[in-house]
Structure 1
């Protein structure tokens, strides 16, 4: 395949992802045999990304990550004999056309590769050689490249490691198994025996035993009167410790026997003679006490064991958290007297989930004894192993029934591991469906089918319009319009967007009441009350009021405007009382009708009177507002383009003229107002009528 891709130029370099041309210099990895452009592999070898993790092993191959120390520099053929090989159409690209001659990968093969220079690994050696079997008794002629071992049917017969027996296995590879025969060994003191495999390493033997039973020896010493008190040992027993030639001091060891002999003590002849006492305090250290305060024997120099101590010692609980003081007489064996404190261990157990909670704990591993109980990957069974860290093992239960898909076309034959999902089936789903539209999804193991996506026409939830291109599985469709259905109150319509179900099920309508009021015809605006009359509260609607002349305009709450109109009407009626006293009739219906109540007016002020006077004066003088070029309400003076151009050229001159004209107008207005005031005052004093 590699030769074909290189010849047809379909092989790509893993570094640049470009096709390796026939004439392009290449380099081939000797571990994975991938081919790269020579320039590409040089750049890769020098880049920091190609360096090995330890930094000293060289650079890594992009394909197999094999580390190399030398960077390739020259273009050679695959066998490495020819530099810059020339391509021949009859030969493999990038090869020299000569015999390969490389050593094969098989370590036992002495023959070199005998095919032409080629990419990839060398084929197995085709030569025939004579090889012996594993036991070395028979020989066979096989191919040199054959890696399998040769076995015969003969018994091995080699001497085993024990050096006493021979191997009984049939011709096999590797070393022979240890000897499986058992032999009986005796301890050094001769009191215990044990069976071990033949060839087991024996301990030092004195000719009478092979191991130590760790018991007291008990053999008779050379004196013939006492027994050995040492642990079972391979060497000969020691001399009797009570022989006269061995004992040189008194029992407490403070005084030499030679000094006691000078004082008149009897000389010892045999080992059973008593050892003289010096009469001093014994002073031997006892097993009780502590490292800081050592208890000693308080008796006089004596033979044998010391008497119990009269002091007290501190002993610790098992975990060493608490201590207590006890008499030393009870501490015959200090290690055997222990007590437990009430402290509970708070360390985590080996599972990492539970606490130890043991009282006076001395455990170091804290193994958890609880059952794991977590669900396994099948989702049906729970882990029955002791509580542990990490993930649980796969479920060990297996079914011996066939596992099929829903329609039965696809089958998984037993044994079926627990938790295995039904097989995938490419047949169309055969389950019963709610709609009669064609089914496009495949058979499945889920109980519920995917929703039907067939496009249909459906009414919205409020039955406002028939919507098209609606998937079949969608049921609640909103058109986005207002519901506008009549509520139970019979007065209002639902203002919600097209919705599902009834408009107001457990709630009451809270829209404002629209019944007109009795006096002002404004709506009630109280929360909807279909079964009760409107509440008698003041109207809060805004109304626009104006005076009779129409100059003053103001917005006011309806109830306040009504009170203002009633006050004005009362004043008007009071002014008409003089007419009633003179016998004239007064029409008051105009003052108390609803229409007039709606059109409540404001009182005219001095500004209104001045406006009326100016209007009458303008009508008398036949003055039009639009004819006054200085009137701000007019459309404004009209100037020619020439005048505007001159004004732009000399703006200061125009400003000066405008200032002078303003002063002239102000002076004229001041004189006109004085003349008008004098004329009006004279006319009013004469009581005459205005004349044009």
Structure 2
């Protein structure tokens, strides 16, 4: 739509738009407008955006005639933003490059420095005649108005101007840029100097003559059809060009023909003329000397040239740069015979050589051959390698097609492979480009790859849901997902969730599925999921039926409809020694084997009694109850603890007040002790942290205190959990590998430190001390401890504290 409100065709709209842009780009302020704004103090400096007062020093650009404060334009000329090539500076208005920096305040015509302003005069003007050269091309009249800002007006004088060809003249305004052109033929002599120009009166040089003529070569054998005036300077009266063939004209001797290439002018004299031949064929002996020896004098060019009888010794075409082969025949006419030697022939690129018999080399060009080495240099594009065999090119041009996608994303570059970015796509469309709803329009011409215009209206496409649309019209094929908040059931139909965006389909509630599996024995343990619980295969959950021998679950994969397989039980069983100090968790099968050994030992111990006629009840040894009560064997430390306990009771000593109470060692498991022996330094640091945390919790006002350990491996986390259990401290692991860490929390009144630390216990065990005397222990006997006390010697209690 044009500014006046009328609707034109596309081509006219484009023309009006281009014309408007050109007018805006070529806009120059008029003198009257500048004078009015400067006088009324309404003109603003483009640099500082402040009013230019009538008394302020100014500077005017001679290209665009904009006016600036003198100080502002000085600062601008020195700033990096104004710098241009060739050490010049750019005008902030027209970007015209000037070499001289502004230094002084002058009037608009440049005659007066620091002009004084009078109320009746133009501001910043000297009040004298301008006198500057006008903008006209051929105008020589100076400007005759007073010193003024802006461009000088056109010259009012009229002069008589001739047309371009000079046949017509008429009066025109001086300095008018348009050239006068008549409707008559030019008539100027063309380049061939035979025909005249038939074009209408035109500017510039006339075109070359376009008539086709037949030209003959210098020797008169070959003809060609060319434009009239071609090779005009090469005409010698008989021909215009060289055909590059042997001339073949009969020489003056009328016996031989010219062997030169087609040439201008007459042929040279016969090279065998007696007046030109002064020596023998090998040029070693003058003919005058041969005449003295009795040879006859030559009378014509057909007479043979006498031979001197010496070896020819003329250089042959074979050989190399440092070795020259000579003709070995006697002095003779004509070409020299074949050479009997060999020549070193180098390939074209110079990387390889080979020996070739000179007899096979007929020409000088055959001294070079082509090797099989491929050139690995980069081509001009910088991406592909040359790849030619025996390459001798200085500039490796790439002849492949670029093929990269252009900036439009639709077409590919068809130029030869090149460096840098491809040129923009030159294709354009003259159809209107609209958005999807058609309300926003881009008018032609439209560059290839231009995206549809942005539309501010709501999307009018058909959507899957009926919720309100909140996104604007777009050019993408799919609309953005609907974010309207709704209520939806989870995938497992466990609960209905609220505030769920409409586009989300599969919602998980985070609960266990708990649906009955096809085996009708187990339930699905997966988190709320989509689809069937068992997509592939059958139920693999462990069977929970009790075993007939031990009562533990079967634990084999679900086997509905079949009996439990006979396998070894892998359930964990807790066993301990008789005194209760040693505690371990072993596999059920190992516990059964241990109990069988125990029963065999017990029966063997009674064998002697059975031989004497006594009976033995083996029922308790074969029941499941006894199997569950399988015991570990007490070790020397158990005996030490029991002996110390009895001594403490006999001496009436309170074991809780003893700082070296050995019983405190029972709070640490054997696996924890083993881990502490491997990394005692880490255990010491952890115990110190836990001890400090427990003391702070018990002494402080807060009910609990927490401490976070840095991320560590699984073995170290296990040590922390076991030590926290000894100190009655809560321990929890957070995060996932490899940043999984442990957080411990000590509760006031609940957490406490043991009598002896694990570190001190390990150090006492590793100290070089003799072990205390220990009485012999009879295993698995009802009177074990009574016999041990009777048989052991009396030992001082303080000698066996460790």
TM-score by length of 2: 0.57
Q: Which residue of 2 aligns with 1:27?
A: 59
8 Å Cα contact 2:231-2:241 kept in structure 1: no
Q: Which residue of 1 aligns with 2:253?
A: 223
How far does the alpha carbon of each residue in 1:303-336 deviate from its partner, in whole angstroms, 9 at most, with x for none? 2333222223333445444444333333333426
8 Å Cα contact 2:440-2:454 kept in structure 1: yes
Between the aligned partners of 1:536 and 1:484, the Cα distance in structure 2 is: 30
The runs of 5 or more residues in structure 2 that have no matched partner are 1-28, 592-597, 599-624, 630-640, 656-802
1:256 corresponds to 2:286: yes
Q: Relative to structure 1, is the Cα distance of residues 193 and 427 closer, same or farther in structure 2, using a 3 angstrom cutoff?
A: same
Q: Which residue of 2 aligns with 1:279?
A: 309
Q: Which residue of 1 aligns with 2:172?
A: 142
Deviation at 1:70, TM superposition (A): 4.4
Q: Which residue of 2 aligns with 1:454?
A: 484
Between the aligned partners of 2:524 and 2:258, the Cα distance in structure 1 is: 117
SS in 1 for 2:317: strand
How far does the alpha carbon of each residue in 1:15-47 deviate from its partner, in whole angstroms, 9 at most, with x for none? x45554555433222233343322233344455
- What's the RMSD between the two structures over aligned residues? 5.5
Between the aligned partners of 2:244 and 2:373, the Cα distance in structure 1 is: 37
Q: Which residue of 2 aligns with 1:586?
A: none
Q: 1:605 aligns with which of 635, 639, 645?
A: 645
Q: Which residue of 2 aligns with 1:431?
A: 461
8 Å Cα contact 1:27-1:41 kept in structure 2: yes
Answer with 411-420 or 276-285: which moved more.
Answer: 411-420
1:42 corresponds to 2:74: yes
How far does the alpha carbon of each residue in 1:646-669 deviate from its partner, in whole angstroms, 9 at most, with x for none? xxxxxxxxxxxxxxxxxxxxxxxx
Between the aligned partners of 2:168 and 2:77, the Cα distance in structure 1 is: 52
Deviation at 1:391, TM superposition (A): 5.2
1:238 corresponds to 2:278: no
SS in 1 for 2:73: helix
Deviation at 1:155, TM superposition (A): 1.4
Q: Relative to structure 1, is the Cα distance of residues 44 and 215 closer, same or farther in structure 2, using a 3 angstrom cutoff?
A: same
Q: Which residue of 2 aligns with 1:686?
A: none
1:172 corresponds to 2:205: no
Q: 1:299 aligns with which of 304, 307, 329?
A: 329
8 Å Cα contact 2:137-2:176 kept in structure 1: no
SS in 2 for 1:168: coil
8 Å Cα contact 2:41-2:51 kept in structure 1: no
Q: Which residue of 1 aligns with 2:44?
A: 11
8 Å Cα contact 2:132-2:143 kept in structure 1: yes
How far does the alpha carbon of each residue in 1:407-438 deviate from its partner, in whole angstroms, 9 at most, with x for none? 45567799987656555555542321122122
Q: Relative to structure 1, is the Cα distance of residues 171 and 452 closer, same or farther in structure 2, using a 3 angstrom cutoff?
A: same
8 Å Cα contact 2:135-2:175 kept in structure 1: no
Deviation at 1:449, TM superposition (A): 0.6
Between the aligned partners of 1:135 and 1:269, the Cα distance in structure 2 is: 68
Q: Note the 1:70-89 alignment, pairs <5 A.
A: 70-80=100-110, 84=114
Answer with 431-440 or 483-492: which moved more.
Answer: 483-492
SS in 2 for 1:258: helix
Between the aligned partners of 2:57 and 2:581, the Cα distance in structure 1 is: 99
8 Å Cα contact 1:539-1:557 kept in structure 2: no
Larger RCO: 1 or 2 (CA < 8 Å, sep 6+): 2
Deviation at 1:555, TM superposition (A): 10
SS in 2 for 1:335: helix
8 Å Cα contact 1:13-1:19 kept in structure 2: no
8 Å Cα contact 1:161-1:178 kept in structure 2: yes
Q: Which has the larger radius of gyration?
A: 1
Deviation at 1:536, TM superposition (A): 6.7
1:159 corresponds to 2:189: yes
Between the aligned partners of 1:12 and 1:308, the Cα distance in structure 2 is: 91
Between the aligned partners of 1:454 and 1:94, the Cα distance in structure 2 is: 69
SS in 1 for 2:365: coil
Between the aligned partners of 2:502 and 2:101, the Cα distance in structure 1 is: 68
8 Å Cα contact 1:9-1:22 kept in structure 2: no
1:266 corresponds to 2:296: yes
Between the aligned partners of 2:79 and 2:426, the Cα distance in structure 1 is: 50
Q: Which residue of 2 aligns with 1:575?
A: none
Between the aligned partners of 2:650 and 2:116, the Cα distance in structure 1 is: 120
Q: Note the 1:335-484 alignment, pairs <5 A.
A: 335=365, 339-361=369-391, 368=398, 370=400, 372-375=402-405, 379=409, 405-407=435-437, 421-422=451-452, 425=455, 427-457=457-487, 471-475=501-505
Q: Relative to structure 1, is the Cα distance of residues 610 and 502 closer, same or farther in structure 2, using a 3 angstrom cutoff?
A: farther
Deviation at 1:470, TM superposition (A): 5.0
SS in 2 for 1:287: strand
Deviation at 1:146, TM superposition (A): 2.9
Q: Relative to structure 1, is the Cα distance of residues 133 and 423 closer, same or farther in structure 2, using a 3 angstrom cutoff?
A: same
Deviation at 1:171, TM superposition (A): 0.8
Aligned residues: 578
SS in 2 for 1:288: strand
8 Å Cα contact 1:203-1:211 kept in structure 2: no
TM-score by length of 1: 0.64
Deviation at 1:493, TM superposition (A): 10
8 Å Cα contact 1:348-1:356 kept in structure 2: yes
